[in-house]
Every structure is written in structure tokens, then in C-alpha cells.
Amino acid sequence: MSSEVFALNRKKYLDQMPDGSVSVFAGNDPLPANADGTYGFIQNSTFFYLSGIDQEDGYLVLVKGGGEWLFIPETSELIRIWDGDKLDKEEARAVSGIENVHWLEDFWEILDKQVTGKPEAWLHCDTTQLSKFRSFRSKEKWLTDQFRDKYPQTEVRNPEKIINQLRLFKAESEQTALKKAIDITHKGLLRVARFTEPGKYEFEIAAEITHEFMINRSRFHSFMPIVASGANSCVLHYVDNNRRCEDGELVLIDFGAEYGNYKADMTRTLPVNGKFSGRQAEVYASVLHVMKSLKKLMVNGNTVINLKQEALDLTGKELVKLGLVSASELKNSPEVITKYLPHGVSHSLGIDVHDVGDRSTLFAPGMVLTLEPGIYIREEGIGIRLENDILITESGNTDLMAQVPLEMEEIEQMMS
């Protein structure tokens, strides 16, 4: 993406802020493993959204009406030898569109000049992350703690809601990156469809996906891929991927490629031997019917909450058809549906797989969300989930995965 994209993102953010406000954002550190090893590096999503910088140890300071400052680590010959080249100041200017680029050592001195005498400052901190991983202290949380110690008289406020509202709506450049990630994911599906057969292990299927992603310049998976065969298909977040796929079973594959920091998210359920059995076909048809019905409801003004309720109503009727519950049981105990559909059916998608967005937010043009109904019958070892990525438009929606095989006949043909 060009620097103009990130400059516009900063402008949209500052337009929401009071005059003279000081905002501070931190990039991520590499996640340490043991000894001198790391688990690799993935940039802080908000820091990337505002700066375009995709390397570790950065800070961004924005003052409405007062300037922009970007701070990056100064490289050295030793770092080049061990870790390779890092951005110099001129390269960082070209990527971000920010003229005032400094080394990290200048951060606190320059920040002090902007903060001193200000009653408040805005420091972004992902509260969703903090609530889920309470024992982990992110770079954002570390910076906030340091800031409070250094400026006890300055109130710290979190611009998370403002940023999240902006990130909900994907610009054309963001949609282009998402479409590229989806295209690579599609290629991954085609590869594993030709590869999958009885006797293959789940991890072998995952390896084929990884191969296809990497040769198409996707740096990594959007998330740990789920390759769940047999009874594993009923485990929603199964990532062990270590079981042998057997003849007559299904394998549920939930995966997505990353491209330019944007993530795709797709689920397909394949018959291991290339042909759906009668019962598998019945359940697949039910899930597909629910999916098609829900897609019509992904329009301006609807919400994820409403979509889930509709999904439950539709799935309940399918469960009766499948002989899993009786009509009277469904009427008297509608909560029985959650035994077979225990998860949500939609979430925002973007820089993060589970991107920013509240479940009650009204759908509006530019939002991208997943659609992922499913039915899981543990006693039969049948779990089927289907997932596409949907762009909300002025006139309804666009299925960004419309070209990806979905009908049973298409799946079987793809595997033949």
C-alpha cells in the first residue's frame, strides 16, 4: 500500500480527536520463546493501520494540529549481520508518509515536550487482548505503565473505540489485499482437494496448505489451520492436526492466508475419499441451505446478533429434517439447537482474523465479515462448517469467495 493510505488513516483518526490532543501508539516486539529464540514477529494491527511500518520496536506520536513523529530502532552493522537490514529513516518516511522520523533513543525526550502540561493523553491499548491473556503484558500495556509512572498528573485515555470504528470499514486498498489473501487461500483449497485421500494425516494436509501459501507470497497462515477429520470435526478449535484420515470420513478444514497484513478466513468440509455418503450429503445440504439463507440477510442495518438468531432458527428447522430433534422438543426446548450449533456465525475480518467490531454494530458498506454456519453431530462423528468472507455494499453484499467451490458437486469434482 502507498504511504497515502496510512496518511489518510491518520487524518481520519485525528479528525475524531480534540484539538491539541496527544496520542501514542506502540509497535509489537518479537514474541520470545526460550534462550535466544523467538516465535517470530507480527505487527500490532493498529500501529500498522496508522503507520504502515512492519518491523519491531516502533512508536508513533500524533498531536492534532501539532505534528507527527515516528520512532524506529537504529540499525547497525552487527544487526545487519545477524538479522538483516532494517528500515533507515528515509525508507520509513517513504513507507509511512511521516516526515519526522527519529531513532528510538529520542522517544521519551520528544514525547516529554508534547505531554508536559497536558491534562490527558491517549494511549492505545487493546483491552480485548488484555482480558483474554491476563498474564501477558503487551508492548502497549508496557508503554502505558511506563507513561503513568513518568507522568502521574496526566490522565491516560484509550482511543480504542475510535480506532476500532475506523478499522471496521475497509478502503479499496484494504479490500484489494483481502482479495489477494482470499485468492491464495483458494489455491490452497485446490491443492489439498487433489491431495486428500484415505491414509493421509491431518498434518500432511496442513503442510500442503503451507506450501501453497508460501509459493504465492503469503508470509504465514492467518491463524493456526484447523484440519479436523472424523470426530475431530466436532471440535471447534481443533489444531492438533495429528490424526490419520480414514475412508468414509469427512475432514473439516478452516484456514486462511495472510497477504500484506490482511487475513482471509475460509472453511470447507471435504469427504476424505472424494464422495459424500448419503448422511453426509444430507447434513451438508442443511448447512449450505442455512448459509445461503443467511447471506441474503447480510445487508445494511443488520447485525451479527440478529444473524446468529436467524441462524439458530434456520438450523433448528434443519435439525428436525435431519431427525436429530423432534418438532415438539424444538418448540419446548429451543436451546437444544446450541448442542449442534454452539458458536457464532459471523465476525469482522481485516488486519486481524477476528477483527475489531462489536456484535451489535449495524452492517454498513465497506465492512467485511465472515459467514460460517455449521452443524456438529458428535454421536455420528459428523461436523460440517462452511465459511465465506462477505463485503457489505450499498445494494446488499458481495461474496468475496463466490469463485471458490462450495456446492457438493463442485467439491467432488474438485477432488476427482
The tens digit of pLDDT for each residue in 19-40 reads 999 999 999 998 888 888 888 8
Q: Over the chain, what is the mean pLDDT?
A: 95
For the record, the C-alpha cell of 314 comes out as 434456520
Note the pLDDT of residue 82: 85
For the record, the C-alpha cell of 65 comes out as 494540529
**DSSP of 308-335:** HHHHHHHHHHHHHHTTSS-HHHHHH-GG
Q: How confident is the model at residue 127 (pLDDT cuts 50, 70, 90)?
A: confident
Cα 400 to Cα 406: distance, rounded to the nearest angstrom = 13
Cα 60 to Cα 99: distance, rounded to the nearest angstrom = 12
Note the pLDDT of residue 101: 98
Contact yes or no for 188/212 (Cβ under 8 A): yes
| Residue 96 parent element (H or E) | helix 89-96
Average pLDDT of span 104-115: 96
Average pLDDT of span 44-59: 96
Contact yes or no for 290/314 (Cβ under 8 A): yes
Count of CB atoms within 10 A of residue 138's CB? 17
Cα 12 to Cα 163: distance, rounded to the nearest angstrom = 9
| Residue 347 parent element (H or E) | none
Cα 189 to Cα 9: distance, rounded to the nearest angstrom = 33
Cα 234 to Cα 224: distance, rounded to the nearest angstrom = 17
pLDDT tens digits, one per residue of 239-258: 999 999 999 999 999 999 99
Q: b/e map of 116-136 (b: 16 or more CB within 10 Å)?
A: eeeeebbbbbbeeeeeeeeee
Return all residues near 102 (Cβ < 8 A) that are at least 6 apart. Answer: 69, 70, 71, 72, 89, 110
Rounded percentage of the chain residues whose pLDDT exceeds 70? 99
pLDDT tens digits, one per residue of 166-207: 999 999 999 999 999 999 999 999 999 999 999 999 999 999
Rounded percentage of the chain residues whose pLDDT exceeds 90? 90
pLDDT tens digits, one per residue of 248-290: 999 999 999 999 999 999 999 999 999 999 999 999 999 999 9
390: left (phi over 0), alpha (psi -120 to 50) or beta: beta
CA distances from 41 to 28, 29, 219, 231, 254 (A): 8, 7, 11, 34, 23
Q: How confident is the model at residue 130 (pLDDT cuts 50, 70, 90)?
A: low
pLDDT tens digits, one per residue of 341-379: 999 999 999 999 999 988 999 999 999 999 999 999 999
Chain center to CA of 319: 30
Note the pLDDT of residue 353: 97
Note the pLDDT of residue 129: 65
- Domains recognised in the chain with CATH numbers: 3-167 (3.40.350.10), 172-415 (3.90.230.10)
Higher pLDDT, 32 or 387: 387
CA distances from 219 to 91, 193, 211, 328, 352 (A): 21, 22, 11, 51, 15
pLDDT tens digits, one per residue of 319-350: 999 999 999 999 999 999 999 999 999 999 99
Chain center to CA of 299: 21
